[in-house]
Structure 1
Amino acid sequence: MVDREDFEFDSRGTTCRAWFYPAQNESMDSPDGVPAIVMAHGLGGTRDAGLEPYAAAFADAGLAVLVFDYRYFGASGGRPRQLLSVSAQLADWSAAIAAVREIEGVDAERIALWGTSFSGGHVIAAGAADKRVAAISAQGPMMDGRAAVLNVLRRHGLWHMLRLITAGLRDSLADLAGAEPYRIPLVARAGGLAAMATADAYDGYQAIAPEDWRNEMSARMLLTLALYRPGRKIERLRCPTLIQICDEDTVAPAEAASAAAARGGDNVVERHYRIGHFDIYRGAGYRQSSSDQLAFFKRSLAPRRCEERRATDA
């Protein structure tokens, strides 16, 4: 079993809790320390919902890893619970990156970001904001909120979309009144009212979630989802970026991820898998995706590669 330690950091006055996995060998070491990967989950996910196998594999390969929960979710602080705020989550990413750079033995110039689903878009936004980030991996990424909204409309119809909008308005009114958020399920079976209600969403998420995982989120974010388009920031990235696309994805449109990857130019490595959104976390999907990620990180975070990049930037 790979060693890990409890870790916490402050994000604008809220305590975010994480696991820190020290590098298990010196294969990626340099005089400045070891590279580190910062990881967080997608929509409503927590660090114990299928991320541990990735973190352990990266640590076994000589990389340090920090896996954190967003504020309002999991083990992290903040109230009200299950409040999903894009701006708050991006602030948590920034704070996590800053915190890992301060860990003794970590090379502050070899920090990589790993995101999945909703956080697959977050890592693009975070990397665009922080030019020191050395590498980014985004699997099954939600690159375009507008495309995601149109995907829901196409798959579930106008009535379903109106129900989601009504839930978002109800939650926004609760916020104005100072009341508890109006929450909806994150996942439901096909036809149910939830943020994700495709045929594979409920069973797929439940397969990786721990027993105490809360299947709910505040609904207000649904009103502004179409405005969140992190894939448009990919041209600002200065680091190698791996985009892993699930071609049969029913949640995060594969076409939007491919379009973003194309805009990224030579910095982007694009990989396709003939699987669904949730298949990448388990079985053959996990084995292939994590193998590709390891190869990418070993190449992108190698001391010589990073030194060449620093010299070019200078």
Structure 2
Amino acid sequence: MADRQDIRFASGDDICAGWLYPSAPGGRRPVIVLAHGIGAIKEMGLNRFAHRFQQAGFNALVFDYRHLGASTGRPRQLVDVPRQLEDWSAALDFAETLESVDRERIAIFGTSFAGGHVITVAAREPRRVKAVVSQCPFTSGWASSQTVSFRTLLWGTVAAIRDLVFSWGDSIVPIALAGKPDDVALMTKPDVWQGYLSLVPRDIAFSNEIAARLLLKLPLLAPGRDAKKVQAPIFFAICAGDSVAPADTSIAYAKEAPRGVVRVFEGMGHFDIYVGEAFEKAMPEYIDFFTKHLA
């Protein structure tokens, strides 16, 4: 059995690229579908999560959204929430076709921006989604917008308007994803620059920017509102010191989920949970949760 297989599946007119970590042979087994945060690609740590799920006996399917990473889609570096939600549905469709997968035991795992996506996907897909982990979730664009400087909001808005008005075809007006406190970027808290970019492997080409147009919609996004509609068991892993997705807001939304489990990791920031001791602390809880609800 290969530890990992490259996979591709259609989403709209484009192709999403990803990895399949197949479970051990011996019948159809559950699958956990994973995707990353804002502007991030699968190489930025999702392999570690998927490999641990595989070792625990699950299939794990990781994918890049269209316009990012190894997936197709023009213009590059476009983050469009409706399109990303379509990519999630396409990933679930593809998972159901796999011979190793029990299509009655499909779970989803999203982190950061995708931590918000999985709340919405689970609310929309009650038949297919049997369990959810939402890690350090983006639940409120308004709350997250309060974490950036007025300078970023001002010049970012200018860039976003220029992006909408003057970008044609493959062109975009970009804004940086991760920046230092005095930069104009979507994330500028002191732990962001090192935390976000340390997830990028040295041998991977990565663009630290996205199309600025997202900034006009970001404050209006509130996937946390969908938590009360999620009928599946959902585990919210919330970092108490989260500088990007404020913990208090996420906790308030998480408590509205009918079958929600709210786990607050004290002493952790937004980027701590991907690596090291924090990762080792969270993974057993995720595996126990999925094992309980997908058995």
Structure 1 Cα separation of the partners of residues 174 and 195 of structure 2: 21
1:272-296 residue CA offsets vs partner (Å, 9 max, x unmatched): 1120000000111111111111111
The residue correspondences of 1:2-17 to structure 2 (distance < 5 A) are 3-17=3-17
- Asked if the contact 1:145/1:226 (under 8 Å) is kept, the reply is yes
- Asked if the contact 1:167/1:220 (under 8 Å) is kept, the reply is yes
1:142-193 residue CA offsets vs partner (Å, 9 max, x unmatched): 01111111332xxx2x333212211211111123x55711011110111111
User: Secondary structure of the equivalent of 2:198?
Assistant: helix
The residue correspondences of 1:185-224 to structure 2 (distance < 5 A) are 185-211=176-202, 212-224=205-217
1:125-155 residue CA offsets vs partner (Å, 9 max, x unmatched): 1111111200000110001111111332xxx
Structure 2 Cα separation of the partners of residues 125 and 59 of structure 1: 25
Structure 1 Cα separation of the partners of residues 48 and 171 of structure 2: 35
Indicate the residue corresponding to 2:287 in structure 1: 294
User: Secondary structure of the equivalent of 1:16?
Assistant: strand
- Unaligned runs of at least 5 residues, structure 2: none
Structure 2 Cα separation of the partners of residues 151 and 41 of structure 1: 20
Tell me the amino acid that sits aligned with residue 188 of structure 1: G
- Asked if the contact 2:116/2:138 (under 8 Å) is kept, the reply is yes
Structure 2 Cα separation of the partners of residues 164 and 276 of structure 1: 25
- Alignment of 1:243 onto 2:232: no
Indicate the residue corresponding to 2:226 in structure 1: 233
The alpha-carbon distance between structure 1 residues 25 and 202, as it changes in their structure 2 partners (threshold 3 A), is farther
- Following superposition, the deviation at residue 25 of structure 1 comes to 6.4
Indicate the residue corresponding to 1:118 in structure 2: 113
Tell me the amino acid that sits aligned with residue 185 of structure 2: A
Structure 2 Cα separation of the partners of residues 179 and 139 of structure 1: 32
- Unaligned runs of at least 5 residues, structure 1: 303-314
Tell me the amino acid that sits aligned with residue 289 of structure 1: A
Structure 2 Cα separation of the partners of residues 79 and 210 of structure 1: 24
- Asked if the contact 1:2/1:56 (under 8 Å) is kept, the reply is no
Tell me the amino acid that sits aligned with residue 192 of structure 1: D
1:67-117 residue CA offsets vs partner (Å, 9 max, x unmatched): 000001000001110011111111100100111011112111111000000
Q: Residue 174 of structure 1: which of 163, 166, 184 is its match?
A: 166
Indicate the residue corresponding to 1:49 in structure 2: 44
Q: Residue 260 of structure 2: which of 261, 264, 268 is its match?
A: 268
- Asked if the contact 1:25/1:60 (under 8 Å) is kept, the reply is no
Tell me the amino acid that sits aligned with residue 22 of structure 2: P
User: Secondary structure of the equivalent of 2:74?
Assistant: coil
Tell me the amino acid that sits aligned with residue 160 of structure 2: G
Percent same amino acid at aligned positions? 41
- Alignment of 1:148 onto 2:144: yes
Structure 2 Cα separation of the partners of residues 246 and 2 of structure 1: 34
- Alignment of 1:90 onto 2:85: yes
Which structure is higher in strand share? 2
Indicate the residue corresponding to 1:277 in structure 2: 270
Structure 2 Cα separation of the partners of residues 283 and 105 of structure 1: 31
- Alignment of 1:134 onto 2:130: yes
**Equivalences, count:** 291
Structure 1 Cα separation of the partners of residues 280 and 265 of structure 2: 12
User: Secondary structure of the equivalent of 1:198?
Assistant: coil
Give runs of ≥4 in structure 1 deviating > 6 Å: none
- Asked if the contact 1:25/1:61 (under 8 Å) is kept, the reply is no
Instruction: State the Cα RMSD in Å.
Output: 1.5
- Following superposition, the deviation at residue 210 of structure 1 comes to 2.3
- Alignment of 1:66 onto 2:61: yes
Tell me the amino acid that sits aligned with residue 116 of structure 1: T
User: Secondary structure of the equivalent of 1:24?
Assistant: coil
- Asked if the contact 2:180/2:193 (under 8 Å) is kept, the reply is yes
Structure 2 Cα separation of the partners of residues 78 and 52 of structure 1: 23
Structure 2 Cα separation of the partners of residues 179 and 46 of structure 1: 20
The alpha-carbon distance between structure 1 residues 256 and 235, as it changes in their structure 2 partners (threshold 3 A), is same
Tell me the amino acid that sits aligned with residue 190 of structure 2: A
Indicate the residue corresponding to 1:310 in structure 2: none
